[in-house]
Homo-oligomer: A and B are copies of this chain.
Amino acid sequence: MTNIHDIAKQAGVSVSTVSRVLNNYKYVASDKRAAVLDIIEALNYTPNKHAIDLIRGETRNIGVILPYNNNTAFDQLLHGILNKASKQDYLITVLPSQYDKAKEIGYLEKIKSKLFDGIILTSRANDWEKIVPYSQYGPIISCEFTEQPEIGCAYTDRYRSFLDALQLLKNKGHQAVAFTTARLASNSTTQIIAAYQEIFGDIPAGYHITNCQSLDDGYAAAQQFMQLPERPSAIYANGDEVAGGIYLYAQSQQLQIPSDVAIIGQENQPVGIGLGLSTVDHQLTKIGEQALNLVIHRSKEKVNIPYQMVERQSM
């Protein structure tokens, strides 16, 4: 491989001068600059990124830890991150963790090895105490709220959002509200359970189904809900794909929506538009964008992104 020394030799200047040309410094005689540029062109030279990163100690590469790489919600987050990154000339490396603690730590170690300038955590498997120490090597930003002072976050207030949505259902006269969630151990699930209890009290048996991700999970969940002795009059799904499945099952049973059963989804995903599903938009794309901003500014701010109720016909 040809390197900066080769260029210097061929152009009859010192490496410093080549470096100056490469980095567009003023104070390089125009004939030398031209000569260097010519040789660079002739030798088809490109500076070695590792050498640059090594000496500069900066990479413009951000790692994004995401548990699932085929989940619409994380895709939305990633979408926002990529948008902003692309504009700011940052590169994004995706780090799939499957909620594996060791894997997650492995990725965090990479910030210590200087591979990344910062890391965005879309969700996490480890306790904060395991994660926080890594923030001394570079900014770590969470897409969920955290009170950890060392960790900046861009988040939406899930608890309030759940309270709002459930209260809205209650106000519309629903007493029998069922809901679906993804991972039982997630932050989001904890929040909705708390909100549910706040609004409706104890969760009736069978009114909460977990591990719902896709449209057919929703379909299956709806089937279960509808076989319950006391059928729910409204269902709050943890995503619009799941809500879509619920909608389709209801429709297959000739149930009227929303009179027989009301449905609300989350995240305002494309499937919901066609089906006219009401949804709570947690603004995941915006959260992603904001998270990226926080990393590149090495900020430890807590940025609250307001969620949005999108009322369509299913509620």
Contact = CB atoms under 8 A, between A and B. Distances in A.
B93 A86 contact: no
Contact of A274 (B51, B78, B112, B244): B244
A46 to B, nearest CB: 4
A113 interface: yes
A51 B115 CA distance: 10
Contacts of A50: 50-51, 53-54, 59, 114-115
Interface string A157-184: 0000000000000000000000000000
Contacts of A49: 110, 113-115
Contacts of A218: 274
Contacts of A291: none
Number of copies: 2
B96 A94 contact: no
A67 to B, nearest CB: 12
B93 A93 contact: yes
Contact of A82 (B48, B96, B274): B96
Interface centre among A50, A78, A248 (most CB of B within 10 A): A50
A61 B93 contact: yes
Interface string A32-51: 00000000000000111111
Given A216-B270, A271-B244, A274-B216, A46 B113 contact: yes
Contact of A113 (B47, B95, B251): B47
A310 to B, nearest CB: 14
Contacts of A61: 93
A219 interface: yes
Interface in A195-215: 214-215
Contacts of A47: 113
B94 A82 contact: yes
Given A48-B54, A50-B54, A95-B91, A219 B274 contact: yes
Contacts of A79: 69-70
B46 A215 contact: no
A57 B51 CA distance: 11
A236 to B, nearest CB: 19
A245 interface: yes
Contacts of A215: 270-271, 273-275
A6 interface: no
A150 interface: no
Interface of A: 46-51, 53-54, 59, 61, 69-70, 75-76, 78-79, 82-83, 86, 91-96, 103, 109-110, 112-115, 214-216, 218-219, 241, 244-245, 248, 251, 270-271, 273-275
7 contacts: A49-B114, A50-B114, A50-B115, A61-B93, A75-B75, A214-B270, A241-B271
